[in-house]
Amino acid sequence: MESISKAAFRRLPRYHQILSAYEAVGREYISSRELSEILEINETLVRKDMADLKIRGKQNQGYSISALRLRIEEFLGLQEITEALVVGGGHLGTALATYPGFEHYGLKIVGVLDSDPEKIGTRIGGHQVVSVARLASIIQKKNIKLIILTVPRDVAKELTEVAVNAGVLAIWNFTPCELNVPAGVKVRNEQIIGGFMALSHYLKNVGGAAEENGD
């Protein structure tokens, strides 16, 4: 099994985004220095990440952007399809179920569930909305390992339990709840408000000195 540090692992999505953006404008190579400046991290750290990914740069050119992007995709398993259910068909669930580009990363939404009788049977992003009462049976029937949770706070824990008991191994959690799951099940908490917190701090301190120390 391949292994890199947790901190490096957390940087991979950003690397991937930067590489994709540069590739889209026709760039072929990027230097560790450029990457370090965009990510605002030490260049040594970028070089270490690249070494961990077993990516080598060329003298005076840097890293091949497409090779590095593909290496990250391979490492993260993005080239294989992952099927997922969106649980909760509110605004956020709808946004995620219709998000353009997920399939580009191997993420395929195969169903949307909701508890609202007025929503059940309507279509969201090409999917007919199904009752959450059928969550377990759909997970089992389709052998789903990932759910995207966008339900209200008061039902998040209950539906998590149902999903895990039905065989789900990963939960992409967009609710503000801390979910308790058994060992072997991975939760990714998507704290939308976290991004605002960083900006809030910046706005409240604009005009002061640099607002943060280095890493």
Which residues in 159-178 contact its own copies (CB under 8 A)? Answer: 169-170, 172, 176-178
Q: From residue 104 to residue 133, what is the string marking binding to its own copies with x (rule CB under 8 A)?
A: -xxx--------------------------
3-state secondary structure of 187: strand
The verdict on 17 binding its own copies (CB under 8 A) reads yes
Nearer to its own copies (CB atom), residue 58 or residue 176: 176
At 28, the amino acid letter reads E
Q: Give, as ranges, the residues between 28 and 87 that touch its own copies (CB under 8 A).
A: 38, 40, 75-78, 80, 82
3-state secondary structure of 153: helix
Q: Which residue in 200, 155, 188 sits closest to 13, CA to CA?
A: 188
Q: How many residues contact its own copies, by CB under 8 A?
A: 73
Cβ atoms 106, 82 nearer than 8 A: yes
The verdict on 182 binding its own copies (CB under 8 A) reads no
Q: Near its own copies by CB under 8 A, which window of 54-62, 103-111, 113-121, 128-136? A: 103-111
Nearer to its own copies (CB atom), residue 6 or residue 59: 6
Cβ atoms 94, 76 nearer than 8 A: no
d(CA 136, CA 121): 18
The single-letter DSSP state of residue 179 is P
d(CA 9, CA 52): 10
Q: Give, as ranges, the residues between 140 and 159 that touch its own copies (CB under 8 A).
A: 145-146
The verdict on 202 binding its own copies (CB under 8 A) reads yes
The verdict on 27 binding its own copies (CB under 8 A) reads no
Q: Give, as ranges, the residues between 80 and 99 that touch its own copies (CB under 8 A).
A: 80, 82, 90-92, 94-96, 98-99
The verdict on 192 binding its own copies (CB under 8 A) reads yes
DSSP string, 29-56: EE-HHHHHHHHTS-HHHHHHHHHHTT--
